[in-house]
Amino acid sequence: MTPTTETMVGIGGAAESTDMVLNIGPQHPSTHGVLRLKLVLDGERITHAEPVIGYMHRGAEKLFEARDYRQIIMLANRHDWLSAFSNELGVVLAVERMLGMEVPERAVWLRTLLAELNRVLNHLMFLGSYPLELGGITPIFYAFREREELQHVMEEVSGGRMHYMFNRVGGLKEDLPAGWTTRARGAVADVRSRMDRFDDLVLGNEIFRGRTRGVGRLTPEAVHAYGVSGPIGRGSGVDFDLRRDEPYLAYGELGDVLKVVTRQEGDCLARFECLLEQTHNALDLADACLDRLAELPPGPVNQRLPKVLKAPEGHTYAWTENPLGINGYYLVSRGEKTPYRLKLRSASYNNIQVLTELLPGTLVADMVAILGSMFFVVGDIDK
């Protein structure tokens, strides 16, 4: 075997027959946060890829141990800043399970509705930003227009635009403002009426299809080996969705509306198609929740809690189908008002690991297309 040398460079060239080590990041515009990719190149082809994480680490899991069960909700909703409501949900479900607490029916349906609206908000960001990373400027403007429609109703009900802090142990912070369901139904209808623009502008664009079809193929075996989940896993034909396979909230009653979207190709295009079709289905689920809420009689949306909330001694695991994949909280309690241990299993952490297997053998020109199709938030990796 001919010995080779390694040359560390920023962005540029190296001598022939020399392996180039190229650093992408940690401030590269193709990432949703501060991620560094260390690539080893042979000419234009990637031979080795190593995601380097930790630039945004803030020790949330350790901070959980010094906050009571009301305060940890604030920490939990921030690791995936595009899925704040869903992040909160996993924590309160874990604590409620430890307490053996039943949540009022109105709160169950409201949580389901708000989780699906949060899913649409998350997906719209990636539906707009992914084409932008490949040179398509227009879709991001449409994506943000639709996001604003839904942001208005989420902000009205919770008071927050990104970090809603609307979940509480035992239910929700408060009941809906007068007339909110009518405005929410109108926002959902408006967004749905304009979603075909993503089909026309993006999926119908031959350049976009040329950059994504057959690029970055992820095998089902790699999905299982690395614990990849969400639209990325389903884009490779792995038919798994906790909302259907282990129902929580009101999803068990929404089986006729819930559609688990899958593709078999496993490439960048398949992942984008899953994301887009899943957005359509989330809007349908939101409408179904609004219909059910209209049938329910007035009632409470939370439980009365003691002044000092303590979970009984024991442990439990609560997982949810977050917009980006499986999000889980492993809670260990010693009977105190703070968790003894709260371990977070975030979707992006597992999803990004598979880049070590996905990128080698591909061209540098396809790296951004593959990276963008992984739909991750770096705060969700670093926790």
User: C-alpha distances in angstroms, 357 versus 100, 226, 268, 370?
Assistant: 42, 10, 15, 12
For 35-50, give one letter per residue: b (16+ CB within 10 A) or e: bbbebebeeeebeebe
Q: Using an 8 Å Cβ cutoff, are 377 and 87 in contact?
A: no
Dihedral sign, Cα of residue 166, residue 172, residue 173, residue 175: positive
The tokens describing 340, both together, are: 């003894």
Running DSSP on this structure, what letter comes out for residue 175? P
User: C-alpha distances in angstroms, 304 versus 172, 309, 354?
Assistant: 11, 11, 44
**pLDDT tier at 382, thresholds 50, 70, 90:** confident
pLDDT at residue 30 is higher than 80 = no
How far apart CA 178 and CA 131 sit, in angstroms, is: 38
**pLDDT tier at 119, thresholds 50, 70, 90:** very high
pLDDT at residue 1 is higher than 70 = no
| pLDDT given for residue 339 in this prediction | 96
| pLDDT given for residue 19 in this prediction | 78
| pLDDT given for residue 84 in this prediction | 93
Q: What is the pLDDT of residues 173-226, one digit of tens each?
A: 999 999 999 999 999 999 999 999 898 889 989 999 999 999 999 999 999 999
| pLDDT given for residue 13 in this prediction | 47
Q: Tell me the average pLDDT across 234-248.
A: 96
| pLDDT given for residue 210 in this prediction | 94
Q: Work out the mean pLDDT of the chain and round it to a whole number.
A: 91
Calculate Rg over the CA atoms of the chain. 22
pLDDT at residue 5 is higher than 60 = no
pLDDT at residue 12 is higher than 70 = no
pLDDT at residue 14 is higher than 50 = no
Q: What is the pLDDT of residues 272-296, one digit of tens each?
A: 999 999 999 999 999 999 999 999 9
pLDDT at residue 267 is higher than 80 = yes
Phi, psi of 274 (to 5 degrees): -60, -45
User: C-alpha distances in angstroms, 35 versus 29, 84, 277, 349?
Assistant: 10, 21, 28, 12
pLDDT at residue 11 is higher than 70 = no
User: C-alpha distances in angstroms, 358 versus 77, 108, 249, 258, 325?
Assistant: 30, 39, 35, 30, 18
Q: Using an 8 Å Cβ cutoff, are 294 and 314 in contact?
A: no
Q: What is the pLDDT of residues 34-73, one digit of tens each?
A: 888 999 999 899 999 999 988 888 889 999 999 999 999 9
How far apart CA 34 and CA 378 sit, in angstroms, is: 6
Tally Cβ neighbours within 10 Å of residue 57. 12
| Distant-in-sequence, close-in-space partners of 241: CB < 8 Å, separation ≥ 6 | 234, 258, 260, 321
Percent over 70 (pLDDT), the chain: 93
| pLDDT given for residue 288 in this prediction | 97
| pLDDT given for residue 15 in this prediction | 46
